[in-house]
Amino acid sequence: MFDLIELAGVNKVYRAGASEVQALIDVNVTVNKGEIFGVIGHSGAGKSTLLRCVNLLERPSEGRVTVGGTELTSLGEKELQSRRQKIGMIFQHFNLLTTATVRDNVAFPLKISSLTKKEVKARVDELLELVGLRDHQHKYPAQLSGGQKQRVGIARALANHPDVLLCDEATSALDPHTTESILELLKDINSKLGITILLITHEMNVIRSICDRVAVMDQGRVIEMGDVLSVFLNPQHPTTKGFVSQVTDMIDTEALGIRSEGRVVRINYMGNTAYEPVLFETVRSTAATFVILQGTVSRMKDTPYGQLIVELRGERKDTDHIISELRQQGLDVTIIQ
Amino acid sequence: MSFFENVNWADIWKASKETLTMLGASLFFTLIIGLIIGLVLFLTSSGQLLQNKWLYRLISMVVNVLRSVPFVILMITIMPLTKMMVGTSIGVKGAIPPLVVAAAPFFARLVEAALREVDRGIIEAAQAMGFSKGMIVWQVMVRESRTGLIAAVTITAVTLVSYTAMSGIIGGGGLGDLAIRFGYQRYRPDVMLVTVAFLVILVQALQMAGDALVRRFSRK
């Protein structure tokens, strides 16, 4: 896989008089070409600074930033400006020109392109079509809803055919329904136009619906990073567990363990096994039985997954057999008790 | 009508034209110089594109000094400079330099305040798009603050009207000159009344035009 964005050994220190705030501490993040990478963290965790380091709106105090093979941290101002044209960015508060119509907002970044008037018109038409705002092209931002404003923001960010789209809390100011439609649009842009997306958010729901990989940030550090599914199913750090619990009932294994008579196991499964009666078939082949104590079955981006806490009741050899059989079938089984 | 017996309408017209000339010329230079100073003030202030603490403090101090001297005093103080620039320190011509020196710092502060109203996020968005600083200043900041700038121009124009009238005290010409020489020094209240009425109409017209433009360009 090709690394499109690479942050290597990035540190960022803010100095205000005598005090220092370390906003980023030794951040190493690689975003692959074509993926949707999410960074989640509470406010003040440093995710916004991290995102702004990618297009150097914030210059790292230390470390290297590389986008598409170009080391941005070594570029001069002019070269950086021209590279930025290929890095789209959308914002929580949209940041549209209030004095320009939808159409002129979308055309705005093309002012510094080499396109002719006619080409600009064609490109803007195409973009308005893509985000579904043709009917609103002559309105001003103040006349639009939040979701429509973000669509203008997206169209504007895509104007110069970027290879990367940076999303700064793009759905945080939107209601849940609108959030969903914007996330769908971003997913489409990623899959149809092949644009790599790096987004930051404090909502686990955003990560779950569209991201391939995730980094969790806390106090300026990346504390956990990996495939969304594995981070989601096996969160290690308390902060990560907190985010995961936003979208599922966290399974309180300790409380469960106290009252059970058999062996309590946690089974994680994903992909097509989610639709197979693996557990039932396996248990049926023995003399044991099982009780489901708690469970979640859901979908992460396009992958179905499930997490069950099951109590296996029966002879030790039967339960041992069930556990090894499930593992052989590719399920992730953890013995809790 | 006997009340207006002292009013020489030809003089009034001439004085009105002089006032408009002084207003037009001084407004023109005030806007150019004030806009530049205002932009520099804003851009060099903390957290902005050309942040420069010492330059900001220097310009800010000069602006404050010029703004703290009352107009009449300023006008007298810079008489030698005026004479050097336009060859005379009296009449319509002699009034223009002091008008600009007094009004440009005032307008600059209004410009600075108007620019400060531009959403930081929009500037950030333009930076992210790859715009240069110069383009951000003209295409984003000035554009986005245009209603504030128009209001600032209106306020400055109105202030200049009153300054032109004051300039009459030391021989500035125009309606103020007429009011002082005839209305005040020769005790002719009818002349005073007519000049004041003309000044009121002028200010009203400027304010209404300014407000109409603000409404025309407002998109909020």
Structure tokens given for B165: 């009238």
- In sequence order, the 6+-apart residues with CB closer than 8 A to the CB of A111 are B135, B139
Mean pLDDT of A259-270: 80
Does domain A253-335 fall under CATH 3.30.70.260? My reply is yes
Tokens 């429509």 label which residue?
A148
**pLDDT exceeds 80 at position A265:** yes
| pLDDT value of residue B144 | 96
Distance from CA of A6 to the nearest CA of B (A): 18
Q: How far apart are CA A134 and CA A155, in angstroms?
A: 11
Q: Which residues of A touch B140 (CB under 8 A)?
A: 97
| Cβ-defined contact of B129 to A108 (cutoff 8 Å) | yes
Neighbours of A63 (CB within 10 A): 17
pLDDT at A313 over 70: yes
Confidence of residue B8 (pLDDT cuts 50, 70, 90): confident
Residues 6+ apart with CB under 8 A from A252: none
Residue A78 contacts by C-beta under 8 Å, 6 or more apart in sequence? B132
And the tokens for A337?
């008790």
- CA A67, A70, A71, A74 torsion: positive or negative? negative
Q: What is the pLDDT of residue B13?
A: 92
Instruction: Identify the H or E element spanning A63.
Output: strand A62-67
The shortest C-alpha distance from B39 to chain A (Å) reads 19
At A252 the pLDDT is 62
Q: Which fold has domain A3-246?
A: Rossmann fold (3.40.50)
Q: Which residues pair with A222 in a beta bridge?
A: A217
Position A57 pLDDT exceeds 90? yes
Tell me the pLDDT band of B2, cut-offs 50, 70 and 90.
low
Handedness of CA B105, B107, B109, B112 (dihedral sign): negative
Q: Are A133 and A152 in contact (CB under 8 A)?
A: yes
Share of chain B above pLDDT 70, in %: 99
Phi then psi dihedrals of residue B165, to 5 deg: -65, -40
Question: Where does residue B94 fall: left (phi above 0), alpha (psi -120 to 50 degrees), or beta otherwise?
Answer: alpha
Read off the tokens for B97: 């330099």
> Per-domain residue ranges for chain A?
3-246, 253-335
Give the minimum alpha-carbon distance from B130 to chain A in angstroms, rounded to a whole number: 4
**Band of pLDDT at residue A256, cut at 50, 70 and 90:** low
Neighbours of B176 (CB within 10 A): 26
CB within 8 Å: B122 and A95 = yes
pLDDT of residue A48: 95
Alpha-carbon gap, residue A101 to B139, rounded angstroms: 14
Percent of chain A whose pLDDT exceeds 70 = 96
More confident residue, B33 or A288: B33
pLDDT tens column, B73-121: 999 999 999 999 999 888 889 999 999 999 999 999 999 999 999 999 9
Q: Which of B128, B143, B219 is opposite residue A89, by nearest beta carbon?
A: B128
B9 within 8 A of B165, measured Cβ to Cβ: no
At residue B19 the predicted structure's pLDDT band, cuts being 50, 70 and 90, is: very high
Q: State the pLDDT confidence band at A253, using cuts at 50, 70 and 90.
A: low
Total residue count of chain A as it appears in this document: 337
A306-323: average pLDDT:
88
**A3: its two tokens:** 């690394």
**Tally of CA atoms within 13 A in the half-sphere of A130 that contains its CB:** 25
- Say whether A57 and B124 touch across the interface (CB within 8 A): yes
Contacts B130 to A, Cβ<8 Å: 81-85, 109, 112, 160
Q: How far apart are alpha carbons A226 and A331 in whole angstroms?
A: 19
Residue A298: pLDDT band by 50, 70, 90 thresholds? confident
Quick one: closest CA in A to B143, which residue?
A99
In sign, the C-alpha dihedral spanning A94, A96, A102, A107 is negative
- Residue A85, chain B, CB below 8 Å: the answer is yes
CB neighbours of A267 closer than 8 A, spacing ≥ 6? A279, A306, A307, A308, A309, A310, A326, A331, A332, A333, A334
| pLDDT (average), residues B165-189 | 84
Say if strands A19-32 and A196-201 run parallel, antiparallel, or are unpaired. unpaired
Give the bridge partners for A198, in sequence order: A37, A166
Task: Give the Cα separation of B186 and A156 in Å (integer).
Answer: 68
Query: How far are the Cα atoms of A240, B26, B78 from residue B91, in angstroms, in the given order?
Result: 77, 14, 15
Residues 6+ apart with CB under 8 A from A74: none
Q: How confident is the model at residue A163 (pLDDT cuts 50, 70, 90)?
A: very high
> Cα(A156)–Cα(A144) distance, rounded to whole angstroms?
15
* Residue A180 pLDDT class (50, 70, 90 cuts): very high
SS3 for A241-273 is HHHHHHHCCCCCHHHHHHHCCCEEEEEEEEHHH
Cβ <8 Å between B129 and A57 = no
**Best residue of A15, A56, A81, A103 to probe chain B, by most B CBs closer than 10 Å:** A81
Alpha-carbon distance A90 to nearest alpha carbon in chain B (angstroms):
8
Would the CB atoms of B131 and A89 count as touching at under 8 Å? Answer: no
Token code pair at residue B133: 């600083």
pLDDT of residue A249: 62
Q: What is the mean pLDDT of the segment spanning B148-164?
A: 96
The string of pLDDT tens digits covering residues B34-66 is 999 999 999 999 889 999 999 999 999 999 999
Which chain A residues contact residue B122 at CB under 8 A?
95-98
Contact yes or no for A141/A105 (Cβ under 8 A): yes
Under 8 Å between Cβ of B136 and B206: no
Task: Check residue B130 and give its pLDDT.
Answer: 96
Q: Please name which of A236, A177, A230 lies closest in space to residue A205, comparing C-alpha atoms.
A: A177
Which residue of B119, B129, B141, B149 to mutate against A (max A Cβ within 10 Å)?
B129
Residue that the structure tokens 């554009």 belong to: B143
Computed over every residue of chain A, the mean pLDDT equals: 91
Q: Which residue of B has its CA nearest to A111?
A: B131
Chain A nearest CA to B150, separation (Å) = 14
CA angle A296, A297, A301 (to 5 degrees): 120
Contacts of B145 in chain A (CB under 8 A): none
The confidence band for A251, taking pLDDT boundaries of 50, 70 and 90, is low
Neighbouring C-beta atoms of residue A173, cutoff 10 Å: 16
Domains A3-246 and A253-335 share a fold: no
* Chain position carrying tokens 């032109």: B164
Q: For residue A110, is pLDDT > 70?
A: yes
Contact B161, B23 (CB under 8 A): yes
Q: Which residues pair with A22 in a beta bridge?
A: A13
Q: Is A139 on the interface with B (CB under 8 A)?
A: no
Q: Would the CB atoms of B121 and A95 count as touching at under 8 Å?
A: yes
User: Between chain A and chain B, how many beta carbons pairs sit less than 8 Å apart?
Assistant: 65
Closest partner CB to A112 (pick from B125, B130, B220): B130
What pLDDT score was predicted for residue B54? 96
Question: How far is Cα A207 from Cα A202, in angstroms, rounded to an integer?
Answer: 9
Name residue B88's amino acid: T
Q: Which residues of A touch B132 (CB under 8 A)?
A: 78, 81
> Contacts of residue A57 in chain B, CB cutoff 8 Å?
124, 127-128
Q: Which residues are bridge partners to A89 per DSSP? A: A166
Rounded Cα distance, A59 and B19, in Å = 54
Average pLDDT score over chain B: 92
* Spatial separation of the C-alpha atoms in residues B141 and B157, rounded to whole Å: 22
Residue A164's H or E segment, with its range, is strand A164-168
Please, how many CA atoms are within 13 Å of residue B134, restricted to the half-sphere of its CB? 3
Q: Domains for chain B: give ranges and CATH numbers.
A: 9-217 (1.10.3720.10)
User: Could you read off the pLDDT of A223-249 as tens digits, one per residue?
Assistant: 999 999 888 888 899 999 888 887 776
Q: What ipTM was estimated for this complex?
A: 0.85
pLDDT at res. A230 = 86
Q: What was the pLDDT predicted at A259?
A: 60
CA R_g for chain A:
24
Report pLDDT for A142: 95
State the pTM of this model. 0.86
